[in-house]
Each structure stands twice: as structure tokens, then as C-alpha cells.
Amino acid sequence: MRQVVLISGHICTGKSDLARRLKEEFGFHRVRTSDILREIADQRRLPNDRASLQELGDTLDIETNHRWLFEAVTTQASTLINGQPIIVDSIRTSSQLECFRHQHDLAVVHAHLYAPKEELEKRFELKNQRRPQGSPENYSSADLIKNETDISQFKRDADVRINTSRTDGKDTLVRVAARLGLYAPSDTRCVDVIVGGMYGSEGKGHVAAYLARNYDYLVRVGGPNAGHTVSSESGIYTYHQLPSGSRDTNAILLLGPGMTLRVPDLLEEIRDCNITPDRLFIDPQAMIIEDEDIKTEAALIQKIASTGRGSGAAMARRILGRKPGAIRLAKDVPELEQYVGATEPYRGAIVANLERAYQAGSSILLEGTQGSGLSIYHGEHPYVTSRDTNVAGCLAEAGISPARVRRILMVVRPQPIRVGNPDTPGETSGGLKHEITFTEVAQQAGLDPETVTKQELTSTTKRPRRVGWFEWDQFRKACVLNAPTDIILTFADYIDVDNQQARRFEQLSEDTIKFIEELERISQSPVSLINTRFSRDDDRMVDLRSIIDRRNWKTSKSLRQI
């Protein structure tokens, strides 16, 4: 059954603004009564000024017994896709209203807008002043509704009645949209979150890209200081600002307001991945990293082996620069306009996009960056990043309520890593409880030490990594902070090289299975995905069967229109 919304009210009550917003934000087909009258006037070779159109409307009411508007709406409805709702701007007589009310194959909702006459006259005068040469009309002659009996009937009949002297256009839209059932209930759980459980470089990107193909929306938080390297059918690629798997899916991509963006690098990444503007939405509030931010972080490279990409300095400026013009946000960058929008309501506004996703029942994957042990609040200060890397921080950066979360996936590897120590003697990138070398890791697993050491470079700065044996207390702390529903184990071949050949769980080595069982005991969550190997060698054919999928849940794209 097609939903048809009828708007009534005196001139300047906000009818056209409401119709426009329903069209732009919820995809309604807009039927303008004035357009129908102009078309008929052209056919009859009649004048099409406001007064003449009013007179024509009176004539059509008599000729059709007030059915002309209903018939025009049903004619347009026959050309629309199934289910697309219609907004009628507007009805002017109670008899026109009754023509719609008596049709049982339409779900009719009537919204009546009103305001005190003095307020409406002021609005009309302001409109006149904005016209190039003013207007000779006064409020009473311009108003389409001449009969107060019709207004009284509209008041009694309306499903929602709004005094627009107390609301602006956005407020009116919210009230009408709620009555129309356009908002998803707060308990709609359709968001899965993937976070790192260690000190970053757990292989989140590779796993996120594996999962991404089954989601309608991919959301990224963080900044370009985190690099997520992905091995997929299209080859090896490192994502810095786009969600992992962007180039291998057709999902809608959202960059949240908590992100820090390096514009030249982002534009290059968009080109690399062939991302079209219809897929990418950047929130207008996302922070821009400037050259000065990168210069500011130079000292951190020497002190704690920071990536020096400017994310932390940009976030600091965002906090300190709370006055107009002090900082640049995504909405202030012309090169990003096609992804952000030019004016409100911004096409990239993440809350509006998520609202549509929730209502459509779409599946959403939120990809965190770095790891729990690098959280600015819960990590070992000062060897931390500039944000909270746990699930709560990621949700806040994206603008997603915890009530929307369905699954929390926390990624770990057999040996935690940190970026290599700074070149400055005596400085460190942070502690590892049981530090060893990649040669020791490779020898224990039966891997080639030279190959492993060569591959273990950070995705962003290409610095050598440090490594240690698994830290069980740090893992448990990450479990407390994130409450994962699922654990994901990566680099299983770092336990035993034979795991590279495993295609099923029972084919994993005995030590690997014991390690997985202990992860499950301590986390009280299943290890649902196991990455058995990961090649960073572009010369080798990419092995797409590198993940053992033990999930007892699945995700699928929505069958409803996004």
C-alpha cells in the first residue's frame, strides 16, 4: 500500500519547505498542486499567474467534483517505483481531502500546519521583500484557502497538527517523519564493530575487507596514521582513510565526524580505489590535517616513534580552536564538496545517513583503527595514540549509539607488536612485557626468519616492528574494555607454519587449537575467524582462502532499497 502524505494550511505555514525536506531526506515523490494547475493552464491556453491558477482550481473543483487533484496524484503514482511514498503540496479544500480518504488502497496521512495570522503575514511580507521587484499582492489575496470551514475541517481531520510559529523546518520535519514511521526504533541492532585488541597491526584491515562484501555500509574512524593492509582478489593494498575493502565492494562508504583527514592523500586513495561520489559520504564535521600539524608532530617521531601524520596535533587544535574560522573542517574544503555537500542538509552528514540505514534495515560494519593498548585513556601513557581506540571511542567518533551494536569483533595475533623504537638513543615506542625478535618467532613456527623480518614493517611509516610473546593480562583488559562477542585470531602461521595449509579448524596444529581454547576461556567468547597466512609479496598470487570462518552468525545485504 502506497503512503500518501497530504499537507494543508494557509500560505506561509511551511508546507512547501516540509514537502521539499521529505523529498530530499526520505525520497518522497513530490506532487505540487501549482505545477498541475500550470500544466492544465498551458493545455487550455490560460494565464498562469497566481490569481489565474486559483481561479482555474475553483473551476476544476466544479468540473470534477473536487477529484482533479486526486486523479492527478494517482496518475503520477502509476509511473513510480513500487512503494515510493508521495507528498502532496498541498490540498486546499476539505472535499479534496475526502477524495483521498475514501480510497482504501492508499495509506493517507494528513499533516496540517498552522500559525497565528500576524506571524503568517510577517512571513509573507519578508518573501515579498526578497523578490526582485516586490509583489503587489497582499497576504489575503495570495492565500489559496478562502473558506475557514475548510480550515476547521482540516484541524479536525489531521493526523498530525503543528504550530509552525514554534518550530523551524527541521523541527517540523522530525515531528511529521515520526508520525509517518520513518525513524527506526532505538533497539534496531544492525552495526558490527571490529577493533584491535593489542597495540595495533593485528591485521584488522585484512579481516574487515573479508567481511566487507556482506555489508551495505562501511564506516571508518581514526585518521591516516593507521594503515590497514589488505590482500584481496584485486591484489595488495593499504587503506589509510577509506574503509578496508572499499575497492572490492559496492557498499556505501561513510567517514565519520571524529576522523582526521589529510586531503591530498585522501583524494589519491579515492582515485586509487575508483570510488565514485555516489558511494562516498564524508561528514562535514571531520577535521582537516594541515601542514602545521605534521610539523608539530615531528618531535613525537623522535620521542615515541609516532607516525607523525598530524592526527594528534589536528585533534589538539580542534579542542583549542573553538572560535569561528580557527580550524578547517571537511565542509570548508572545496575539493571534498562532492562527498560532503555544499550547504545544510549536508549529503555527507553521518547521522542522516545512518538514520536512513537503520530505517532500511541495512547492515553496517564499523572499522576501528590501531589497538586497545594504544588508547589515550587506557594505554601506557605517553606511548599512546591521540584517541580512544576501544569500541566505545570508535562508536563516539562515528556517531553510533551502543544500542545499535550487534557484534563486537576483537582482533588479536599470537605475538603482540609495537612500532620499532625511535632512532634517538634511549627513547622507546612503549613497553612489551616479553620482548623477543622476529627471528625467534619464525624459528619456533618453522618460518623463514629473513622473510618474516622483511615483511614485518608498519603499514604507514614502513618502520621495523618490535615483537613479544602473548600478554594474557593485556588481552583480558582489552576484553573488559570491549566486551567482544567474537575473537578473531590472525597470523596463525606464526604459531606453526603448517597452519598455512589449513582450510578447516581441525587441520590447525595442536598448539594452535590449545591457544585458541585458552583465548576463548579468558575472553569467554568464541574465536570465530582465524587468519592462517597473509602475504605482502605483490609478486605472488593472492591466496583468497586464508581465513577459516567459524561464525555461528552471518551478515547479508539488505533486500530493501538503500
User: Angle formed by the axes of helices 68-77 and 94-101, to 10°?
Assistant: 40
Q: Which three cell numbers stand for residue 69?
A: 487533484
Q: Which pLDDT score is estimated for 149?
A: 86
DSSP per residue, 60-115: HHHHHTT-HHHHHHHHHHTTSPTT--EEEE---SHHHHHHHHT-TTEEEEEEEEE-
Q: Is the peptide bond before 416 cis (omega within 30 degrees of 0)?
A: no
- Confidence class of residue 561 from pLDDT cuts 50, 70 and 90? very low
Output 344 or 399, whichever has higher pLDDT.
Answer: 399
Mean pLDDT, range 340-354, rounded to an integer: 93
Please state, for a pLDDT cut of 70, what percent of the chain lies above it.
93
- Mean pLDDT, rounded, of the chain: 89
pLDDT tens, position by position, 106-159:
899 999 999 999 998 898 888 877 766 655 667 777 776 767 788 899 999 999
Q: Which pLDDT score is estimated for 459?
A: 58
Output 371 or 419, whichever has higher pLDDT.
Answer: 371
Q: What is the CATH number of domain 191-549?
A: 3.40.440.10
pLDDT tens, position by position, 79-92:
998 889 999 998 98
Output 87 or 166, whichever has higher pLDDT.
Answer: 87
Alpha-carbon span 329 to 348, nearest angstrom: 13
Q: Which pLDDT score is estimated for 430?
A: 82
Least-confidence region, from 17-26, 149-158, 306-315, 351-360: 306-315
Mean pLDDT, range 251-259, rounded to an integer: 96
Contact by Cβ (8 Å): 241, 265: yes
Output 242 or 227, whichever has higher pLDDT.
Answer: 242
Q: Which pLDDT score is estimated for 412?
A: 98
Alpha-carbon span 470 to 189, nearest angstrom: 33
- Confidence class of residue 526 from pLDDT cuts 50, 70 and 90? very high
Backbone φ and ψ for 405, nearest 5 degrees, come out as -80, 135
Q: Which pLDDT score is estimated for 546?
A: 87
From the list 481, 523, 529, the residue with the least C-alpha distance to 368 is 481
pLDDT tens, position by position, 480-503:
999 999 999 999 999 999 999 999
23 burial via Cβ count (<10 Å: 0-12, 13-18, 19+) = middle
Contact by Cβ (8 Å): 251, 215: yes
Mean pLDDT, range 515-520, rounded to an integer: 98
Q: Which pLDDT score is estimated for 235?
A: 79
User: Angle formed by the axes of helices 169-179 and 15-26, to 10°?
Assistant: 60
Break the chain into its structural domains and give their ranges: 2-179, 191-549
Q: Which pLDDT score is estimated for 541?
A: 46
DSSP per residue, 391-406: HHHHHHHHT--GGGEE
- The CATH class of 2-179 is alpha beta
Please give the DSSP secondary-structure letter assigned to residue 1: -
Same fold, 2-179 and 191-549: no
CA-based angle 82:346:254, to the nearest 5? 75
Q: Is the pLDDT of residue 372 over 90?
A: yes
Kindly report the pTM of this predicted structure: 0.86
pLDDT tens, position by position, 437-452:
999 999 999 999 988 8
